[in-house]
Structure 1
C-alpha cells in the first residue's frame, strides 16, 4: 500500500491506495502554507493515521522541474523552491513521488476515468485558467522544466474571433507573455472576454447561466470563447494523436459548454468522427488522489522490478 496525497493551498487530503489503484476514505487537514516543518508534520500525521505504507505519492498545485527536483508553488510559500520530494523523503524515511495536479488529473482519467481503453489521452483543465497533461500508453509524458501539457501559454490567441469577427485584445499573462490562451480560456478568461465585448462584469457561472437562458450578449461571449479555444485544441489533437480529452476544472461542470467545444474541435480536426472526444472527466473530486496513487504504484512496481 501507499499513501496518496492531494495538496492545495487550502487543504491537504490523503487516502491509502491499494495495489489495484483503489483509494480508501479521504482525510483532510488545513495546509500550513508558510512553515515547511509544520507542512511536513501535517503530512506525517496523516501518514501515521493511515497505517503502514511503502511510499508517498503527491498531487500538488505546482510545477516540479524534473532535472533539479525543485518545485514552483506560489500558493504554498513554505515549499516554494524546495527539492520537495527529497526533503519529504528525508523527513518521512519513505520514497516520495510528486506530480502536478493537471498531470494527476490526466493520469486518473487515463487509468480510471473517461480515458480508459484509449491509447493517447490528453487531460484538459478548464478551471481558473487552462492546463493539461498527456498520457500515452498509460504513462505520463514529461519534458524539460516539467511543463509538458501546458497548452495555454504562448502568444497564439487569435485577435479576431466569433461570427461576425470580434476584435480581441491581447491580454498580458501571468507567465510574462502577452496573448496567451490562458488569458482567454478558463473561467477568468470567459469573464475577461465578456467585459472586452462591452458587457457588464459577471462571473463565469452567471455568463453560462445567461447563455443557457438565451441571452444574446452571453451567446456572443460563449461563441467567441469557443472560437478562440477550438482551433488550438484541434492542432493539439492532430499533433499528439489524443483520441479522448477528458475535461476537469470548474467549467467542466457545464455539460452544454463542453459539448459545444467538442463539436467545434471535431469540426476542425483531421480525423473525422461522430463520437465526442472532449467529454467531462469521470474521476470526480478525488482525481488528485487517484492520479497520485497510480503514479506511486507504478514507481513502486518499478523499484521492485
Structure 2
C-alpha cells in the first residue's frame, strides 16, 4: 500500500492506494505555508487516518520543481519548504519512506499508466490550466532531467511575435520566470485573457471567452484562433524532440474538447511525423490525477 498525497498552495489531499486504480480518500486539509513544523504535522495527521502500517510509504505530488541531484525543491507557493530536501526531511520527521515529484510529472505519469497514454511508450503530459506546464514519461518512468525541469515547455523566449490569419503582432509579454516571450504568457487561461485584452481591449475571464466562442462570438473566435497558432508550434517542437506518440492535456482547457481538437489539428500539421489519428487529446483521468500519479510514483519507487 501507498499513502498518496497531492499538495498545492491551498490544500493537501490524500488517499490510501492498494493499487493505482484503487484509492480510498483520506480527506483534505489546508496547506501550512510558513512553518515547516506545521507542514510536517499536517502530513503526519492526514497520513495517520489511513488504515495502514506506520511504515507505509508516502508518495507526494506537489507544486514546485524537485532537483533530482539533491532532492531540493523550488516552491514559491509554499515558502516553508522552498529550498529544502523535502523527501529526506519528511522521511526523517515521519520515520517512513517519502517520495516526492512535481505535480505536472505526476499528471503525466497518471495519464501514461492509467489514462490516455496507456499503451504508449513515450507520453508528454501537457498542462493548460492557469499557466502552461508539462511532464515526460518514458517506459513508465518520469523523466526529470537536469535540475528537474524536463517537460517545462511553458518557459523560454520562444513564443511567436505574430499569429493568426491574417497575422497580428504579439508583444513579448513579461513572464513570471523573469524572461519575456514565454509560451506561458500566451497559453492556457491567463494567456487567453491576455490575448483577448490585447486583440480586443476587453477584459473577460477565460471561461467567458470560451463560452462566447462556443456561442459564435467572432471576437472570441479570433482570440482562440490566435492562441492555437501560438501554442501549436512550440508543442509540435516538443513532440518532434522527444518523440511522444500521445499528448494528454490536463488543466482547465483540457476539459474543453473543441479547443483540444483545434490544437491537435494544428500540431499534427506542424510535426514531422504524419498522423491520421489524434495526437493531442483531453486527459482521461479527470478525477484526482495528482493522487493517481503519486500512487504510481510510490509503487514504482518503493519497488526499485
TM-score, with length taken from structure 2: 0.97
1:197 is matched with which residue?
199
1:249 is matched with which residue?
251
Confirm or deny: 8 A CA contact 1:199 1:217 kept in the other structure: no
Question: In 2, distance between residues paired with 1:65 and 1:20?
Answer: 25
2:10 is matched with which residue?
10
Q: Which digits, 9 at most, give the CA deviation of each residue in 1:56-80, with x for residues without a partner?
A: 1000011111123211111111111
1:174 is matched with which residue?
176
Residue 189 (structure 1) shift:
0.4
Q: How does 1:135-214 map to 2 (within 5 A)?
A: 135-214=137-216
1:95 is matched with which residue?
97
Question: In 2, distance between residues paired with 1:61 and 1:299?
Answer: 19
Give the aligned length: 302
Give the counterpart of 1:119 among 118, 121, 141. 121
Which consecutive unaligned segments of at least 5 residues does structure 2 have? none
Structure 1 counterpart SS, 2:296: helix
Question: In 2, distance between residues paired with 1:20 and 1:141?
Answer: 19
Question: In 1, distance between residues paired with 2:20 and 2:85?
Answer: 29
Confirm or deny: 8 A CA contact 2:19 2:295 kept in the other structure: no
Confirm or deny: 8 A CA contact 1:153 1:182 kept in the other structure: yes
Bigger shift: 216-225 or 264-273? Answer: 264-273
1:269 is matched with which residue?
271
Q: CA RMSD in A?
A: 1.1
Give yes or no for the alignment of 1:290 onto 2:289: no
Residue 21 (structure 1) shift:
5.1
Question: In 1, distance between residues paired with 2:19 and 2:196?
Answer: 47
Question: In 2, distance between residues paired with 1:132 and 1:78?
Answer: 25
Question: In 2, distance between residues paired with 1:268 and 1:133?
Answer: 21
Q: Which digits, 9 at most, give the CA deviation of each residue in 1:86-123, with x for residues without a partner?
A: 11001110111100100000000000001001111000
Confirm or deny: 8 A CA contact 2:20 2:292 kept in the other structure: no
TM-score, with length taken from structure 1: 0.96
1:80 is matched with which residue?
82
Question: In 1, distance between residues paired with 2:279 and 2:26?
Answer: 31
Which consecutive unaligned segments of at least 5 residues does structure 1 have? none
